[in-house]
Chains A and B, each alone.
Chain A
Amino acid sequence: METRLNSPQTFQRFHILHRILHMVIIFNFTFLAISGFLLHFSGFGWTRFLVSLMGGAGAAGWLHRFCAVFLYFGILVHVFWLIYYKMVLKQNFRGLDSILPGKKDVSDLFQNLRYVFNKGTPPLFDRFSYLQKLDYWGELLGMQSMGITGLILCFPEFFAGIIPGFFINIAGYFHFYEAVLAVMYIGVVHMSDTHLAPDIFPMEKAIFTGKIEKQRFMEDHPGEWKRQQMIND
């Protein structure tokens, strides 16, 4: 997957499809969070003003559902990509490039903790570090449960015929508290671990341009860098 482009100093890190999908997620997640929280607190003071800016609760609800469908469309494209990756490109899901969690991630975590407390060397991350894997899986699985509870809330009459009525209330609670969790995770963990690291600040551009600079590549993904050099040599 890794290819040198025109400049020798940058390396291809993300494929165009994944960049588009990441943009889809940024756009929809933001609007889902805004419209969702405005809807949940729509009765309180100044949120009433904000909801009216969005065109009222009806419009906010429409936007919320639209973005949810759009976001899930992105997930489906991603799943089709995975099938394509396996069936047509004949690539392997496992291996060192994989985003599947492995034993190395656990040891990396403890090694990183030791390094933070000044008791060892930093871990040699491969293509994805354990925190990046956590981001990916947290989002992917979180969106599934948000999707299921969201569907229950969107079609309560249909689901009341299948499951007991109080599950709809449970789905409501889950949907809200998981939204809080997701926004906290994205806003605090994902934002700080990508953008706020001292040598990355102010912004991580790799997911938008698809390219990573040589210096950053060597520092942040030394494992992958080493394998690259071995292939090239």
Chain B
Amino acid sequence: MNLKTILSIIVGCALMIFMAAFNSTQAFAANLPELNAKKVIEEPLEKSLVQRALPQDPLVCIDCHRMPNINTNEGVIASQSFCFDCHKKDDIIKVNVEPGVSLQITKDTFHDNQPDHRFIACINCHTDIARSPHKTKTGVTCISCHTPHSESPANTPHLRVSCQACHFQSKFVMLDPKDFRVKLSHNDYDGVPISLSNHILSDVEDEETCRKCHFKNNPVGAPAAVLPSKSILCMMCHNSPLAVGHPVFGLAGLIFMAGIFFMIAFWFKGSVKGEETSLHRKISLSSESIWNTIFSKQVFSLIKIFILDILFQRRILKESVSRWSMHSLIFTAILLRFGLSLFTAIGFYFNPEGNMLTALIDKNHWFTAFANDILGLFILLGIIWAIVKRFIIKPDHVVSEYQDNITLILIGTLVLLGFFLEGARILVTAIPFDMAVYSFVGYLVSKVFSLFSIDWGQVYPLMWYAHGVVAAVFIAWLPFGKMRHMFNTPLTYFIEAVDGVKNEKRV
């Protein structure tokens, strides 16, 4: 390549950039939505479209309500103007309550309080309000545009709380006895009617917003304290967000990861295919053989081992049926809960509006409630079986080590506290019988709890923290104690299958 060629390439590139920029600027300027909107909307709207169309005397909807297309900015403004025409007045009040509350709302206040909804027609949300007299059956429908959220933003799905109860800036909430949903109240706590027409959105990042329900002796059955969100560590048994939630969980996660690191470092202390010293060579040799195994026929026998020996625990079954049953009660139940929560977390990310995923994030849905309760019960039964075997029957071959006992105590406490929590939740949130009966263990616990006249709304947060701390300790302890076998044993099976007795990595 000579100088001329290089020069012409550079000049060509510069020309292309310049042309592209020139072309783009034109197109961009012409399509700017605000310019178009201003041109069309501003002058004809105030004078001709609304005022001439509206007759002076009685307002019958059909006279002026010529079905503007609310998918366009023009239609939205026309439709809004129709509503504001009455609602902008100072003296517009609700007459069927005493004292009458103001229903005033002007274009300016609406634009200030709801900047994101400026170009949304009133009837887009208040769908069936445009009639005389005003009357609504559906209320305001947020989720026709917005997707409902899962655990992470509000620490729990809050599926029985209406959107406005958190997102609007009125302090007063109530539990609607008709559908057991928490809604904004039209009266304050003294029974005096209040206006809800200001449309001011609240700052949901601020914990103060949560405290409008979460305080002592609240009327809606919320726990008395604002609890942190679940953590990613809780994924082992619960649907949980990709969050840390609380520093305790963060610490537990760090200890867990450090434990995994030390475990792997310990594996690499042994010799790999004769290499004794160089860590670099050990890692490249072992990853080389993993790669060769994955892309060979051996991978099918490994899949078989995974399904039979790891998922179905064939080798324990060969040793003893009772040992297999005991171990499977704990292991399979935890595995199923983990699978369910993983499926829920991933599925909700992709399809937050699906009925199935809404059911799966809803603790009170019959399937989720029943599945969680019965799996929890299985874990508890397995733990009880193991404890009975270790401390009461004491057969010769069972040698109880202190590490086994720690494991049993941790998992047992975790599940017990979980059931207590569920019972307290059912009691505090006053879930009706036909909904709560599917979480049968939790419902029984709640019946037992209701015999004690304690304020369970205040006990609930304490139990929640206890459950969380035990879970954090359990997770942090996984790679150090007895539970290390859930990483080591499958690996040993795999390595044995790949190269017989001569271990590639010594565990």
Contacts and interface: CB of A to CB of B under 8 A. Distances in A.
Interface of A: 15-17, 19-20, 88-89, 165-167, 169-170, 173-174, 208, 210
A89 B280 contact: yes
A200 B175 CA distance: 74
B349 to A, nearest CB: 10
Given A88-B280, A89-B280, A170 B24 contact: yes
Interface in B17-51: 17, 20-21, 23-25, 27-28
Interface stretch (B87-95, B283-291, B390-398, B408-416): B283-291
A222 B469 CA distance: 64
A204 to B, nearest CB: 16
A169 B24 contact: yes
A19 B287 CA distance: 11
Given A16-B288, A16-B291, A210-B288, A169 B280 contact: no
Most chain B beta-carbon contacts within 10 A, residue among A88, A89, A173: A173
Contacts of B28: 165-166, 169
Contacts of A210: 288, 291
Nearest to A170: B20
A166 B25 contact: yes
Contacts of B24: 166, 169-170, 173
A15 B284 contact: yes
A20 B290 CA distance: 12
A68 B295 CA distance: 26
A17 B284 CA distance: 8
Contact of B27 (A17, A20, A169): A169
Question: Chain B at the A interface: mostly helix, strand, loop or mixed?
Answer: helix
A80 to B, nearest CB: 14
A208 B27 CA distance: 47
A167 B18 CA distance: 11
Given A16-B287, A16-B288, A16-B291, A173 B20 contact: yes
Say which size band chain B's interface belongs to.
Answer: 10 to 19
Nearest to A15: B284
Interface in B367-419: none
15 contacts: A15-B284, A16-B284, A16-B287, A16-B291, A20-B291, A89-B280, A166-B25, A167-B21, A169-B21, A169-B23, A173-B20, A174-B20, A208-B295, A210-B288, A210-B291
Nearest to A55: B350
Nearest to A173: B20
B299 to A, nearest CB: 15
A5 B291 CA distance: 15
B58 to A, nearest CB: 47
- Leading 9 A-B pairs by shortest Cβ distance: A169-B24, A166-B24, A16-B287, A166-B25, A173-B20, A170-B20, A16-B288, A166-B21, A16-B291
A88 B281 CA distance: 13
A15 B284 CA distance: 8
Nearest to B281: A3
B17 A170 contact: yes
Contacts of A17: 284, 287
Nearest to A172: B24
Contacts of B284: 15-17
A203 B287 CA distance: 24
B16 to A, nearest CB: 9
Contacts of A208: 295
B350 to A, nearest CB: 8
B28 to A, nearest CB: 6
A24 B383 CA distance: 43
A89 B280 CA distance: 9
Nearest to A177: B16
Nearest to A106: B1
A15 B27 CA distance: 50
A173 B25 CA distance: 13
A62 to B, nearest CB: 8
Most chain A beta-carbon contacts within 10 A, residue among B20, B280, B287: B20
Contacts of B295: 208
Most chain B beta-carbon contacts within 10 A, residue among A19, A89, A169: A169
Nearest to B287: A16
A153 to B, nearest CB: 13
Contacts of B21: 166-167, 169-170
Interface string B271-314: 00000000010001001100100010000000000000000000
A212 to B, nearest CB: 15
B291 A19 contact: yes
A192 B234 CA distance: 51
A137 B25 CA distance: 33
Nearest to A165: B28
B249 to A, nearest CB: 25
Given A88-B280, A89-B280, A169 B20 contact: yes
B376 to A, nearest CB: 34
B29 to A, nearest CB: 9
Most chain B beta-carbon contacts within 10 A, residue among A16, A88, A167, A210: A16
Contacts of B17: 170
